[in-house]
Structures are given as C-alpha cells and as structure tokens.
Amino acid sequence: MTTKKDIRSLELSQLTELFSTINEPSFRAKQVYDWLWAKRATSFHEMSNLSKNLREYLETNFVINAVEISEKQISNDGTIKCAMKLHDNYVVESVLIPKEERMTACISSQVGCSLTCKFCATGKLKRMRNLNADEIFDQIVLVKNTALQQYNTNLTNIVYMGMGEPLLNYNEVLLSVDKITSPNGLGMSAKRITVSTAGVSKMIAKLGDDEVKFNLALSLHAANDAKRNHIMPINETNTLDNLADAMLYFYTKTGTRPTFEYIVFNDFNDSIEDAQELADYCKRVKSKVNIIEYNPIDDGEFKQTSPARLREFTNHLANNGIICNVRKSRGKDIDAACGQLANKNKLAQQLIK
C-alpha cells in the first residue's frame, strides 16, 4: 500500500510542476495553495473552485495531516491549554495566554524533548519526533480560533516556548515562520514572533547567517557554567562563552537584541553574586533579561525564590544598567505555565512510559 504524501510539504512551485504533469492549468496550483494556507482547509472536499475530478485526484494521492484539539483546560486566570492531537496520534500542548495588552500563543516544535533540563516537566518526556511546519502552523490557527471564540480577540504574539527545542528542528521551524508571516498564510509580523532556545550555539549563529527577522530568547537560568551544567546538560557542549559568541554574532547580523530568560531558584541562582554574574554576562552582548518565577513540577528539586530575594536580585541588575522585566506565570493551576507542559492528558501518556 502506497503512503499518501502530505500535500502541505509541497511548495507552490512544486504544486505548479505537479499540475503541469497532469495537464491542469498552473493557476490551479495557486488555488490549492490558497486553500491549504490562507483558507486553512482541512479536506480536499472544501476546495469548491476545483473540479470534482481534480479533488478526487488529490484525495487519492495526497493527505492533509490536519491537527485537532482533543482537550482544553481553562485556568482561573483565563489561560487556556490545548492538547493537540497529531495525525499519528501523538499529542503536543499549546497554550493561549490572554493579557490586557496582548494575546499570545505558546506553541510546541517537537513531540517531547531530548534535553532533560532538570526544572522542566517536558524534559522528562521522550523526544518522539520533530513537528512538521504544517503541524506548527495548525497549532497557531487552532489557538487563534480559540482566542476569537473565547475572547473575541485575535492573536497578537507567538512564542516558540512550548514542548521541544526549536533549533533542533531548525528547517521546519523556519518554514513555519515563513507560513505565519506570509500574506498567503497568517500575515503576522515577524517582530511578533519569538523563538526560544536552550542554547544550540551553531544554530544560533545560523539564525544570524539567515538574517531572520523574528526575536530570539535564550533560556539562560545561570551565568555560571558549573551551575548551568547541573540544570541544563546542553551547556556541557554549548558553554556560556560559546553562547555569548553566537548571540553576539546573531545580534551583529540581524540587529535584533536577544533576550535572556532567567528562572530564579531558591538558594541556587538567586544570590547577589549570581545577579552580578548575570549582569556581567549581559554586558558581553546587547540584551535584555526576563526574570521568570519558577513553576514547581512533579519530583522537582527546586523551589521558588522568596519575594525579598527576588527584589534584591532585580534591583542589583537595574543598578548595573540591565534592562530587566519580571514575568508572572500564567496557568499554573492547569500545568500550563513555563516548564510545566508534560502531556498529562489521557492521549499523551505513551510519551511518559
């Protein structure tokens, strides 16, 4: 039995070439492409301006691997977590984060994760596979629709901060950004998109070479190699020095100031000495800092720092001229906050075995 090809893996030029081989006019390719990306069709039967014979040909030879929401949870603060079922029955999680000034979709780039960061529930899952660009795109469309249905408000921002490491799925992530920003897709500004990485130096530099227009965030969490090695094994092969060089190269090539994300753990990385190390690190590359409160996970070894120590930490950064914002977590009561995505819904338990 021949496996049908995912039609959304074809670019417009490839569709045009295909239609030429079956004696269909080239404008049909543009019609199909619009149905797939601008109109977000999930079946060939929806493509009403195509002939019945062409729709049947497409149905016979191709498939649209549409993502669907299998479960929703709504937090007390209005955050909505969506379990997204993929065509092969794997599940990833996406989150809608509503605030007065913005409506943000937090999306996943991999099924599971391979990086085993100690503070992150997703790191306890197996990495099963990368997501395709169309699957990433579908997450955004579904979260967008949820925002419109629940809040009558459109998405304003997208963050690749869900499950997985985006830069270990480089090509599909960049292709998904292209679809999101294209007039034939969602038409969003790249400046409304942030890709977050645990720190893959080689790929950060490649982002610079590719002169991407979106924002970049580095999950730092310690400006000390020994401490970062302890919580993030990826640091053993992507040291702070290597990351600083890569981030500086990215900034030089793109002109976009990166953001350092820093979760403050009680009695681990929340001292004045830690704050000074972070300030010194920030001065190596033009950047800003987002301080993120820790969200406890099952069997986690860390605790949230105290309000007093957090104030001392952020004041020290400010006194050193570092742009610093404290981000309050959303959706903690439904395990939707930063670091908590662990597929606790029924369909996803195969990832935890």
Length of the chain: 353
Q: Which of 177, 196, 263, 187 is nearest to 227 (CA)?
A: 263
Active-site choice (24, 93, 135, 261): 93
**DSSP per-residue string spanning 119-140:** T-SGGGS---EEPPHHHHHHHH
Cα maximum dimension of the chain = 72
E strand or H helix at 5:
strand 5-6
3-state secondary structure of 350: helix
* 236 in active site: no
Q: Measured between alpha carbons, how far is 105 from 144 in angstroms, rounded to an integer?
A: 8
Report the DSSP beta bridge partners of residue 63.
6
Our answer to whether residue 93 is catalytic in this structure is yes
Task: Give the DSSP per-residue string, 195-257.
Answer: EEES--HHHHHHHHHTT--SEEEEE-S-SSHHHHHHH-GGGGTS-HHHHHHHHHHHHHHH-PP
Separation in Å, CA 107 to CA 68, 96, 132, 214, 254:
14, 9, 13, 15, 24
Q: Which two three-digit tokens encode residue 46?
A: 């929806």
CB contact at 8 A, 135 and 67: yes
Rg (CA), the chain: 21
- What string of DSSP letters covers 92-115? EEEEEEE-SS-EEEE--SEES-SS
Which residue numbers are catalytic?
A: 93, 338
